[in-house]
Structures are given as structure tokens and as C-alpha cells.
Amino acid sequence: MGKAGVRSQESGVRSKKAVSGKLPVVCCLLVAAYFLMPSIAYAQKTVDRMVATVDGGTRVDLITYSDLMWQIALQPSSPLENPGSEELNRALNLLINQRLILQEAEKLPAVAPSNEEVRIASEALSKQFPSTAELQRRMQRVGLSSEQLREIVRQRVVIKKYLDFRFRSFVVITPQQVADYYKDVYVPRFRQQSPGRIVPMLEEVRAELEETLAESKIESDMDAFIQSARERAEIVILSQV
């Protein structure tokens, strides 16, 4: 498939045929009252719409407004009341990246998670919230069921296993890279942050520096992989958020 960027598509909205005649005054007042009610009515259901499609070459995935709200709901620090365009677009970009990685990951049966792995990941997610009740409240607020949550967690485990396999398993940091980082970065930074203290010898901090360099390389490789996947994919924005 050729290189394709993100393109927008105007979505036409057909208005429903108007009902002839006038509504009784009482009925009009009830309708007005409904729309003037606070967010308690909205809290029961998130109005859904198609936001984007993602075609990484194996299939076309649809992203809806509900998907964005579910993503935001599972981030403890993100407010759910009237999320702004910046927050919604951040969630959209994250979901686009996730869908592209999933499409690649599903080519490798070895990364399919076990029920135990999904259970552990679910518990880890729950612990990010002040309480289980708070997580349940946020799920109910955006209409996210337990089954849907489990599928989101399962997909996240697939993504993590795939990225670990593709990048973390094969990262190599040479002794020369460690020595250069120690001399050019670690020592000057240590002297700036801890003036007057004796700088640790290279062998004392070698393991720490190797881990730092490995994580930096993994992050860089992942970013390059996602950027390349986005450039090859067909990503269509159906509705601005």
C-alpha cells in the first residue's frame, strides 16, 4: 500500500423530517426542561459518533467518540466533564497508535495474552484509582461495561508484549556507549547537581547507565516505528473532536 497521510472527510447529517402541527404547551415545556437539566442526564449515556478509521494494511478499525471517552475515563487524572479538544485529540492520537500496533501485533500469535496476564493487568489498572468504586463510577459515567474494559486491558497487554518482543528483547548497549554517556552526560550532570561530592566511578553506576541507555533507545525505536506505521497507513478523520 502506498504512503498515505491523515485526511478529513466531511460527514453529512440528514435532518429528520419535521413533524407537522404544534406540540402542546406542556409537552414543549417538558422538552425544554429535559435539555436544561444538568449533566446527570448526560451522565447515563455518552452520545456516540464515528470519529476516525485506521487502515494499517490488514483491516480497517473504527474509532468512535465512546472510544475516546473510555480512554479518558481510564486515566485517573483526566476530568470527564466536558473534555476539551486538546484532551480528546490526545486520546484520539493515542488510540490511532494503539490500533496500528495491534494490527501488527496480531500477526504474532506468541503475543496473545493469557487470562492470568489480563487479570494482573486489570488489577494494576484498578490500583491507579483512589478506589474500585471510583473506577466503577467513571466507567458508568461513560457507559463502559466490565466486558468492554476487559477487552481494552487485553489489547493493552497484547501491545506491551509485542513492543517488548520487538524492541526490548533485541536492544544492545555497547561498553563504549556506556563509557561515552558516563563521560559526556553523567559526570557533568552529577557535578552540577551535587557540587562538592565525589563522582561515582563508572563501574559503580554501569548497570544504572546501561538501563538508562536501553530505555532511551527503546523509546526512540518505538517512536520511529509508530511514525513509520502512521505514514504507511490510511487514517481518515470522519469527525473533528
Q: Which of 13-22, 87-96, 192-201 has the lowest mean pLDDT?
A: 13-22
The strand pair at 6-8 and 234-237 is best described as parallel
pLDDT per residue as tens digits for the range 148-198: 999 999 999 999 999 999 999 889 999 999 999 999 999 999 999 999 999
Q: Could you read off the pLDDT of 112-133 as tens digits, one per residue?
A: 999 999 999 999 999 999 999 9
Sign of the dihedral through C-alpha 93, 94, 99, 103: positive
pLDDT at site 241: 86
For the chain, the first-to-last Cα distance in angstroms comes to 28
Q: Which domains does the chain have, with CATH numbers?
A: 41-237 (1.10.4030.10)
pTM: 0.75
pLDDT above 60 for 6: no
